[in-house]
Structure 1
């Protein structure tokens, strides 16, 4: 059979096309492997950079809103690298703790709106605000619970065995942050009046695990965390201990360090006991500390967070009693404070 030149040319082109197709198809798996290697490298770099630079930079800032926006915006991106490299559990502890506080802040705002509506006799508006409040707390609880789960993935089940061997100060801080997340997850679930799935023993577990941290090094906060749990749970306080004495000491340590978390724990414990006078006294002392003791340069973010939480407690008291939140620049003052007598001078003789 004779093959014309035109037929031969067409056959050659088809064979060439088939060969090229085979070559490209054989390269595709290789491209996928290369891409995965690039993604893994990028993920490792992002995790390392975040740990070594982003978190310390953020902790030295007092811009809580910026930190909130960053955690909500970047968490999906940074966590997605867990699909191609090691799960960024340690980073996730911080991201979900911060994102949880964002949702909790929204819940507090809705609570204030509900209290204002109740005072004004606006039943429907109050009910709607309370629904929004519960939704926000449910979201906060889910985020805090995610932080707690990642904490467990890094350090093991807290409070059940030996303390972890920490690599550095940031490692210890992330451990403490995870304990806060567990406690906050349980509290937010209660506030939401819904079932999020937070283990009911989380508070007790976090309190035991706080013993792995040096109390003096961490501004008195580990023992303060224990003490607030003791005050909340009947029978939890060890014999010979006094939760409120421990909390008073924690205030002093917090003041000296310029990281005022101890005041927050004390105010929460007093509020759980229904002692409004003590709550107001703790808020006053916190405000006095702000005027005399600068925030820690390395942990300004934590100190600012403590002040925001104290302001939230003050706002609730003000709203319940006056219909508005704490006036600007008056943290530590209250509606029922006696006005100080103002000295007056007769200016007639000077004219």
Structure 2
């Protein structure tokens, strides 16, 4: 007869095995459980941060006019917010805004170096001018890389632009980020050209952006989609459809942007004029922008975009002034130029009163 006390299935043996299993589970939890809990916490935090930034931080920033603050925020927080892609879904939408904004920071530095170079040339300081131009190209290279990353994240979220149907947008912010992504693509190409180096931005990105603008309502977005499309027509030989006139479209978009209080179309119009070497048209765009600032208040929900447009128009004006006078646009004189004819001032001959 079998001794139940020694049987593998005896109650005492089963209890011993059960206790051993519990001990093993406890040790395993101590060793790996903290990592699993941390991962869950990080994922939750990442999801919350992504949602909050997209739904609150970006709209809040768009209502401000402090470009420097927005620039500092994007450069400082991009590594933190993007790192959550290691523990949760990649924050592609947020990345579009972060890299577009930080690309603008680098481009702003490039423009400053350009002004330094022009000033040095005016002062016959060849070495200083050359050094400033080198710094300018480096800054443009950095800007191009950042803009291109925004474009890549844009395609990751919305799908390859121009190759299929338009995305189904969830809300207005979704549409705006789509527009921002298109702008980042065009800016990536422009900055790459300015850097005179190869960053890897496809040369056909302009035509891709042009197709992508058809997914956005032109009236809703201040005329910017059509302005972006017309700019591509003006810049790329053969891109303009038969029966269209890029600069007529740009003028219509200018009017829409002014009425909406978001003067972004002026920037596209100015870029197209610069590309064509049409200084008379460029001056008119700058004057029109300056007049609109006095007459048309900025849209309260999109002050940041309007301020960004003004900043870029001022930058173009500054380059013209420095090239011709050695100094930037005088304070309060945007829309005027160094060779404008001064209005005659009536004077009184005091001798007749004596």
TM-score by length of 1: 0.92
Structure 1 unaligned blocks of 5 or more: 1-18
Q: What is the deviation of 1:83?
A: 0.3
How far residue 28 of structure 1 moved from its aligned partner, in angstroms, is: 2.3
Is 1:243 aligned to residue 246 of structure 2?
Answer: yes
1:340 to 335, 338, 343: 343
Cα distance, 1:280–1:30 mapped onto 2, change above 3 Å: same
Following superposition, the deviation at residue 350 of structure 1 comes to 11
- Equivalent of 1:36, from 21, 26, 39? 39
Partner-residue secondary structure (3-state), 2:300: coil
Distance 2:218 2:350 in 1: 57
Query: Could you tell me which residue of structure 2 aligns to residue 73 of structure 1?
Result: 76
What's 2:12 paired with? none
Write the distance in 2 (CA, Å) between the matches of 1:343 and 1:331: 25
Greater shift, 47-56 or 20-29, is seen at: 20-29
Partner of 1:284: 287
**Residues of 1 paired with 2:55 and 2:267: CA distance?**
28
1:114 correspondence with 2:114: no
> CA separation of 1:350/1:51 partners in 2, compared to 1, >3 Å: closer, same or farther?
farther
* Mapping for residues 136-175 of structure 1, pairs under 5 Å: 136-175=139-178
Local SS of the residue matching 1:299: helix
Correspondence 1:206 to 2:205 = no
1:119-175 C-alpha deviation (Å, 9 max, x unpaired): 111110000000000000000000000000000000000011100000000000000
Inter-partner Cα distance in structure 2 for 1:346 and 1:304: 47
Change over 3 Å in CA distance of 1:37–1:117 after alignment to 2: same
Q: Which residue of 2 aligns with 1:301?
A: 304
CA distance in 1, matches of 2:85, 2:61: 23
2:257 maps to: 254
Deviation at 1:340, TM superposition (A): 1.3
Question: Which secondary structure state, in structure 2, belongs to the residue aligned with residue 214 of structure 1?
Answer: coil
- Taking the aligned partners of 2:191 and 2:208, their CA distance within structure 1 comes to 17
- Matched residues in 1 for 2:225 and 2:132: separation? 35
Q: CA RMSD in A?
A: 1.8
Count of paired positions: 333
Q: TM-score, normalised by structure 2?
A: 0.91
Instruction: List runs of 5+ in structure 2 lacking aligned partners.
Output: 1-21
Q: Which residue in the other structure is 1:87 paired with?
A: 90
Distance, in Å, in 2 between the alignment partners of 1:278 and 1:209 is 27
- 1:73-110 superposed Cα distances (whole Å, 9 cap, x missing partner): 00000000000000000000000000000000000000
Tell me what 1:101 maps to.
Answer: 104
Of the three residues 41, 47, 51, the one matched with 2:50 is: 47
